[in-house]
Structure 1
């Protein structure tokens, strides 16, 4: 059983299903909980900080994607500014110093919750067999610090940056990931699909071709016009055609403009279509409010499945 912290609308849990492993998710947002319940996912509606390993005695795998708002480049950067303090807290936690310090933005401290759970399980004498974490690239130094701690606690662990399109997700999305296990060697999952580089489609031709927007959406040819500029110029809107993967899916995906080859405006992406670009099935039962934000915050299920398979592969 996998316990999924900050479970959102079910991206990692659906990935666990694809990988053949049951899961239960903890999520505080009522809208994401509504989606999870509609999807039939085991869910605890609550704050991760008020729970611990003792509340989930059947869980042998820890997973999660802490909120990214204070670390993402689209936010104000409170987490990035507090990175040195976060890394110091990792060392204090490893030393079992219980005097936790506060952050200017409470959300920044949530990136430490998976480590709290992992260390608590170790101290209970029931360490998790494996750990799977993902976040925005700016969190990689935190995962590096986690790896050092986990190795000292008897885990094999690895972290790095992965590109989601290399695991069958129809968008270009870079994520900082960590995988760890106690009963064997572990490494980041090998890619199954080619990298996406415009005008360089022949890269790594022995892998599957990149999945495009046109591969998953039931529309004719179209071009997506980004809701934000490239190169810092808001007037320089990025463009991608349906024969390419989508831009990174964010909570602003409903603002994307779509035009046909003649430049005529098309209907904007529906929740189902936006979810498909994040790697969800077309019939995922998006519920509640703030659905674009739910989709943008979710872990892409194909990437989650690859991470879980890597963490739980037969021990060698």
Structure 2
């Protein structure tokens, strides 16, 4: 079962925990090094060179997290500028694609090619899981229209990662679908983080959100100083205490300052610690170069597990 744009393995680790066997297709040499060190089945190539017929043995699940750089507010914005054209392309089943789309933005249409190809040769995927940055939600909604025409039950929306046990606040546009069973997005298992509201407060039927201290207990108290989520204004740097969830982990996680109770700078997050904030095990064998970027690009493991469970139940 293919995992497109598989990265260092967030979705694959969640799948392995659930007994689902994915084969990741990943072009980045560094992410491939990490995946192979972790024993995750991997094809080192671009998704563009493959199709469902190359993986005929099992059509149960298709997962994908296409590159997000042209859709983020920190990126080029090319994807957001082409949203209407991309939506039209999806609703045409991928047959009408604007010629002026840049190569990276065009990749958001690749899962559609796999879905339609598999359905056309009468070996449709039973379950589908897609995730991306929030700006991609209108494209996933167009996907939902297509999938429903193909007979799938579909659910798509923005979810908050901390509501599924991820020790960071991270919003993602997600889509799950199943060809044979009704689906709904997974119900939160943890409370949503609200600044200033204690971890112990909130719905007693839900678990507390998880803090950085919960997953990094050996660190001692610290404050994270980051300008993520503040519009990039260096005068408005965000702060999170270690007893709160992390900010969204990005490829710049290694630059985040950690300040001790005495006001002095502490050692910054190690690769293992940054990975734990994405739900990876502490001993995940990060390999190759650009490891902070690998971590920032990964799907959080706990969120992936919740989505896979909901899609395949």
The TM-score, its normalising length taken from structure 2, stands at: 0.96
Match of residue 194 from structure 1: 191
The CA deviation string for residues 117-163 of structure 1, in whole angstroms up to 9 with x for no partner, is 00000001000000000000000000000000000001000100000
| TM superposition shift of 1:100 | 3.7
Are residue 108 (structure 1) and residue 122 (structure 2) matched? no
Is contact 1:227-1:255 (8 Å) kept? no
Distance in 1 between the 2:265 and 2:97 partners? Answer: 52
RMSD: 1.2
Are residue 282 (structure 1) and residue 279 (structure 2) matched? no
Q: Which runs of 4+ in 1 moved over 4 A?
A: none
Match of residue 125 from structure 1: 122
Distance in 2 between the 1:293 and 1:102 partners? Answer: 29
The CA deviation string for residues 186-235 of structure 1, in whole angstroms up to 9 with x for no partner, is 01011111100012332223211111000111210100100447255221
Distance in 1 between the 2:57 and 2:130 partners? Answer: 19
Is contact 1:225-1:257 (8 Å) kept? yes
Is contact 1:130-1:311 (8 Å) kept? yes
Aligned pairs for 1:129-208 within 5 A: 129-201=126-198, 202-208=201-207
SS at match of 2:35: helix
Which ranges of structure 2 fall in alignment gaps of 5 or more residues?
none
Distance in 1 between the 2:97 and 2:211 partners? Answer: 45
Moved more, 195-204 or 105-114: 195-204
Distance in 2 between the 1:175 and 1:128 partners? Answer: 23
SS at match of 1:88: helix
Distance in 2 between the 1:188 and 1:42 partners? Answer: 27
Distance in 2 between the 1:63 and 1:232 partners? Answer: 32
Distance in 1 between the 2:252 and 2:281 partners? Answer: 20
Distance in 2 between the 1:309 and 1:229 partners? Answer: 30
Q: For this pair of structures, how many residues does the alignment match?
A: 309
